[in-house]
Amino acid sequence: MPSEWSGAAVDPGGGKPTPGEWQPVEVPGRPAAFAGEDRVAYRTVFDDPRDPDDDLALLELRGCYAAAEVWLNDELVAEPDAVFEPVRVPFEPEAENELVVECRAPEDRFGGIHDTDRVPADRSVPGIWWGVDVTAHPDPFVVDVDLRPRATDEGAAIDAAVEVYAGESIDDRLTLTTKPAGDRRGRGMMDRASVTAAAGERAVVEKSIEVRDPSLWWPRGMGHQHRYEVRAKLDDAARTSTTGIATVEATGGGGLRVNGEEVPVRGVALQDATVADVDRAVEVNANLVRAHAHALPEAMYDACDEAGLLVWQDLPLTGPGVFDIARGEELAERLVGTYAHHPSLAAVGVHDEPTDTFAGRVGSGLLDRLRFRYRVWRADYDRGAAEAVAEAVPDGVAVYPVVGEPGTDPDAAALYPGWDYGGVDDLEWVRERYDLDGAVGEFGAGSLPEGVDPDDADVELAGFDRAKHDAVVGGDDPEASQAYQAELVRGVAERLRTDGAPVVVANALRDAGDAGMGVYARDGTPKEAADSLASAFEPVQAFLVGASPGECDVVVANDAPEAISGTVRWEAGNESGEVDATVEAGARAVVGTVSVPESASSVELSVRVGDAGVENVYRL
């Protein structure tokens, strides 16, 4: 990989960029010096990477945001227009090679969350975000191995599309070897396919690989994450790709069914993802991550495959406004095609938050509810374009055409009680009145991390609505801010789970700026809400409905793949007791009631199944 890069902001003009001055930058990356620029060019010079046994080289660029022109040795070799599609260019190197890449900011509606003020400008710099590699190869060689797993009546099959580049014409045989990935032992399978290519041609060889008695990939908590490696070998050249076999479909109620089993979804939204966010999602007991109006890098998908996290992948489309349907249809098909080999890919969202009905907060009183209804009534949104794009999404994933506020007839609701309007107690009537008993694509509240002063001019508040925050918190004290967020996130998550919402996604996992909706700060430091969300997202958990003095129901949620039988113990002040609990797989059940005395300051619940147990504490 080239190690020394320079960059420069450039003007439109056509042809290879030739700025007057270059400055040192790091690639891959998002150089802060170019924040706010529309066009940025990157240049590097590298030596011939070949050894004596090599004939050719391959340039690979990953994450060119949002469109680019790629110039190699003064030749325009690629013009990518989607950040999620890698660029692969076979070439015959010179002794010294010049690579210039001009990256451009979005020129249409498909820039996603990075084309909004919810992400800091220094995280939206046009650039090569994910990776650059130059590797040497023999002639011919395997450029890519694209895999599409699918279920069949006999078991499963993996459809392989192997791209081969030949400097000289060839007529040869390609060998495909399929075996269990990782430390799993199993008998490998070998297939062969003919490959012919003219000199300088990129040929694609297609082969369907039968997998008998397949080992399926399951979401975490539901089973093992089995995967398969497919190695394509042509003479002395080989390339390996990994996939997993899983079927995903939408349920009638807006949920997800994986391998024929309905999966209760506990998810978190990612605003500007890094691979470390996979571990954070696991820490809060999530089994799904939602790429909120942006595409995830391949490394994120690999990590989700390994961890057993489902991925809800949005198109990069968010906010009010019309968009080009044909462009959306094309991107939807290409997006799924890029990530289809990952068993974690479960759902696609099309249009995120198409209205801004609650740009200003609404309170909790009677008049506020009337204002709420008036705003929803005035919401003007035509679902037709989103539905047309949804029709273009290839089979094999669930689709949520609209993720939006009440009034948009959303397929997955954006619900922010306690932030956009009212409080947690308003969640029930909003869902009932507007028939929002299906998937919930986002909920939450913003907060300030420790040490962040929102009045500091150097603090980046992208993604943080200070007016709403101050209205509900009453000031800029980080401790009070985090306490409010923690209680609200927990309250909404618990109520959605006890009500049986099939998909529950908290927004967000980590802040994009110095403050925001994340339960982790921008640097990954957990806020108070990280623990409260982890408790609310325990796969098996006991909840106290309407925690207050008096009679309260105890509900046990069981997201495990098997029925459970255990004991729920409770303690409130000087009172205590226990009840037996039996709950079917993926179900919720009222297992008893608790008489909370007026004098109690807290209620402690614990549910134990066998040797495993988990606690839940309510402060009154």
pLDDT given for residue 9 in this prediction:
98
Angle at the Cα of 78 (from 76 to 82), degrees rounded to 5? Answer: 145
pLDDT given for residue 607 in this prediction:
96
DSSP state of 448: P
Phi and psi, residue 526, nearest 5°: -70, 140
pLDDT at 170 over 90: yes
Angle at the Cα of 66 (from 62 to 69), degrees rounded to 5? Answer: 75
pLDDT given for residue 617 in this prediction:
95
| pLDDT mean over 489-513 | 98
| pLDDT mean over 337-352 | 98
pLDDT given for residue 581 in this prediction:
94
pLDDT in tens, 373-405: 999 999 989 999 999 999 999 999 999 999 999
pLDDT at 183 over 80: no
- If you average pLDDT over every residue of the chain, what do you get? 96
pLDDT at 185 over 80: no
pLDDT given for residue 352 in this prediction:
98
Give strand pairing partners of 45.
98
| pLDDT mean over 90-108 | 97
In the structure encoding, which two tokens stand for residue 422, read together? 């009212």
pLDDT at 92 over 90: yes
pLDDT given for residue 19 in this prediction:
94
Order across the sheet with 550-558: list the strands: 540-544, 550-558, 587-596
Share of the chain above pLDDT 90, in %: 95
pLDDT in tens, 536-573: 999 999 999 999 999 999 999 999 999 999 999 999 98
Phi and psi, residue 605, nearest 5°: -115, 145
pLDDT given for residue 2 in this prediction:
78
* Residue 550 CB-density burial (10 A; 0-12 exposed, 13-18 middle, 19+ buried): exposed
pLDDT given for residue 228 in this prediction:
97
Which comes out higher in pLDDT, residue 1 or 540?
Answer: 540
Instruction: With cut-offs at 50, 70 and 90, classify the pLDDT of residue 186.
Output: low
pLDDT at 282 over 80: yes
Unique residue bearing structure tokens 């729920």 = 568
Helix (H, G, I), strand (E, B) or coil at 9: strand
pLDDT in tens, 437-478: 999 999 999 999 999 999 999 999 999 999 999 999 998 999
pTM passes above 0.85: yes
Which has the minimum average pLDDT: 110-114, 144-148, 596-600? 596-600
Q: Which of 435, 446, 427 is nearest to 118 (CA)?
A: 446
| pLDDT mean over 324-337 | 98
